[in-house]
Amino acid sequence: MADIKEIIAARVAKELKDGDVVNLGIGLPTMVANFIPEGIDITFQSENGFLGLGPAPAKGEEDIDLVNAGAQYVTVKPGACFFDSAASFGIIRGGHVDATILGSLEVDEHGNLANWIVPGKMVPGMGGAMDLVVGAKKVIIAMQHTNKGKHKILKECTLPYTAVGVVDLIITEMGVMEITSSGVVLKELHPDYTLEQIKEATGCELTVHSDLKPML
């Protein structure tokens, strides 16, 4: 079996369409770039100020002036362009990003998202996340289904919100779930898990789509 993170990243990649402008969060979401199908051309945005983000440079060819939002050395593709942070977030809030892919601490059945602070424990800051989830046309949460068995998909978030009612899709190693006006709908189930297992690992009601498909 492939690594759980790779399973998630590979499935997220299938959500992206030719010509999309996409912003990838730090960590697991960054791996999505490795799974873009042949023939699909995606323009990746880096919110610190460019479009046309490319892969990591070869060792010894790093350019100190060229890092992504996670402060890792990157490259740009032909056709890339640089801009300032105000323009970058104009692109984001203005609805010019087709999809943003982020990890999360919690998501609830109303599409509320909590992924920037654990009061008293971890106060890293929201960075660009609050703008991204409010501005992007599609918000995809890519994360492990539970935190070592503790529910992350909930009836109500317990942590402070990043934004309210913004999540469209949740992709985990167990399945693909859509947030609808009537709650969380399971659309695909990974063949390694049963319906009972995913329901048990989910902290809110999970409606099974009438046309449930295997997550591949």
Interface residues with other proteins (CB under 8 A) are 46-50, 62-67, 69, 71, 76, 82-86, 88-89, 92-93, 122-131, 134-135, 160-165
Residue closer to other proteins by CB (options 163, 171) is 163
Q: How far is the CB of 79 from other proteins (least distance, A)?
A: 15
Whether the CB-CB separation of 145 and 172 falls below 8 Å is answered with yes
> Of the two residues 62 and 200, which places its CB atom closer to other proteins in the complex?
62
Selecting among 47, 106, 109, 188, the annotated active-site residue is 47
Q: What is each CA distance from 115 to 2, 12, 133, 180, in whole angstroms?
A: 26, 19, 11, 20
Q: Which residues contact 68 (CB under 8 A, 6 or more apart)?
A: 30, 46, 48, 53, 74
CA dihedral 166, 99, 92, 52 (to 10 degrees): 160
- What is the closest distance, in whole angstroms, from the C-beta atom of residue 148 to other proteins in the complex? 21
Which amino acid would we find at residue 23?
N
**Cβ-based nearer residue to other proteins, 37 or 94:** 94
Q: Please report how close the Cβ of residue 210 comes to other proteins at its closest, in angstroms.
A: 32
Report which residue type is found at 113: L
From the CB of 142, what's the least distance to other proteins, in Å?
A: 19
Q: For residue 173, indicate whether it is catalytic.
A: no
**Contact between residue 105 and residue 170 where contact means Cβ atoms under 8 Å apart:** no
The smaller minimum CB distance to other proteins, of residues 68 and 202, is found at 68
Q: What residues act catalytically?
A: 47
